[in-house]
Structure 1
Amino acid sequence: MHAVVSSLAIHHLDDEGKKKLFRDLSSNLVSGGALIIADVVKPACEAGKKIAARDWDDAVYKKSMELLGKPDAYEYFKKLNWNMYADPNPDEEDKPSTLFDQLKWLEEAGLVNIDVFWMKGGHAIFGGYKP
């Protein structure tokens, strides 16, 4: 494979599942192949969790106002408790890991030039390349 792109899926795996997936994907990439992940990540501390919660709320509110001219989409987002960083009872299916841990696991899986390409509101785009 030349590339694998994952979006909002890997956070449903536990830590061991993520490690195994990264190893399996890395072993199937050709030299120079890329693994790119866009997903939610677990903040490393409570302060980070509060920042992620605020930033995610702010982004949804701004997009609701931009697209609809009113906060209806944001209010629906809040009603459904979609902000896992603000919800005191997050969905049991969500098992985000810290970004730091996932970057280490990518390295352990044999990838190089591992980097974070974008991050905001508890969401990150990160990945690496097969040497």
Structure 2
Amino acid sequence: MDQSVELQKQFNAVSAKYDRQRPLLIPCFQDFYRMALKVADQVESVHSILDIGAGTGLLSAFFKQKFPKAHCTLVDFSEEMLQKAKTRFIGEEGFSFRQEDITQADFGEDQYDLVISSLAIHHLEDEQKKVLFQKIQKSLRKGGYFINADQVLGENETAEAFFKSDWTNHVLNQQKLTAEEKEAVFKRVRLDKMAKLSDQLRWLEEAQLYDAHCYYQYMNFVVFAAHK
């Protein structure tokens, strides 16, 4: 089975549990999302937001609270995940939804003040990440920011082994997760294609997204950003 199809299948299956599981699977959950929001303080005015790999809309929900007048466009390839996002925002104005593969989607030119993403881009091959960064640059308005809260590969084998061991033990110790849920989580992460933080910061600069910087890191959970 094609890896992208397998990934979509797994996220469709977990959609109903996704939001409940996130705080259990991310050791630094509150700081992770809080810093992503804080980085957006650098944008002078936010009228439009693109959420890439939006899933159930959790990240968009946080940003909509911060920028209530902004229009949020959520893009995800999982029909079930995106349906959860639609349910989350039912009756609210300022949202649009696109079920598309982010590696194939056209995000337009000079459309957004913020492009955001959370725990999505690490599923892409490195060359796909590079192309996506170029499309993000194109879609941003001048002065707009790309903010990515994601997981990265350790800069060396020692760091990567430590990150992996620490996170595995964290998941195994979660009493609120069933054995079946833990098994499903470990199956999903085998499809990850994480890249080093240093490489991704360089790729952003090569895509003409400037002042690329890591604003937060806890083990392999990072928040990094750059602007047009």
Q: Which residue is 2:196 aligned to?
A: 98
Structure 2 length-normalised TM: 0.45
- Partner secondary structure for residue 142 of structure 2: coil
* Cα distance, 1:82 vs structure 2: 3.9
Structure 1 length-normalised TM: 0.75
Distance 1:77 1:22, change over 3 A: farther
Q: Which residue is 1:17 aligned to?
A: 128
- Partner secondary structure for residue 33 of structure 1: strand
- The CA distance in 2 between the partners of 1:77 and 1:121, in whole Å, is 25
* Cα distance, 1:99 vs structure 2: 0.6
In the alignment, structure 1 residue 73 sits paired with structure 2 residue 176? yes
Give the partner amino acid of 1:26.
Q
Q: Which residue is 1:107 aligned to?
A: 205
Q: How many positions carry a matched residue from both structures?
A: 116
* Cα distance, 1:55 vs structure 2: 4.0
Q: Which residue is 1:48 aligned to?
A: 159
For structure 2, the 5+ residue unaligned runs are 1-111
RMSD: 2.5
For structure 1, the 5+ residue unaligned runs are 65-70, 85-89
Matches within 5 A, 1:30-45: 30-45=141-156
User: CA contact under 8 A between 1:12 and 1:96: conserved in structure 2?
Assistant: yes
Distance 1:115 1:58, change over 3 A: farther
Identity among equivalent positions (%) equals 35
* Cα distance, 1:80 vs structure 2: 2.2
Distance 1:77 1:23, change over 3 A: farther
- Partner secondary structure for residue 130 of structure 2: helix
Of 2-11 and 48-57, the range deviating more from structure 2: 48-57
Q: Which residue is 1:87 aligned to?
A: none
- Relative contact order: is structure 1 or structure 2 higher (C-alpha 8 Å, sep ≥ 6)? 1
* Cα distance, 1:81 vs structure 2: 7.0
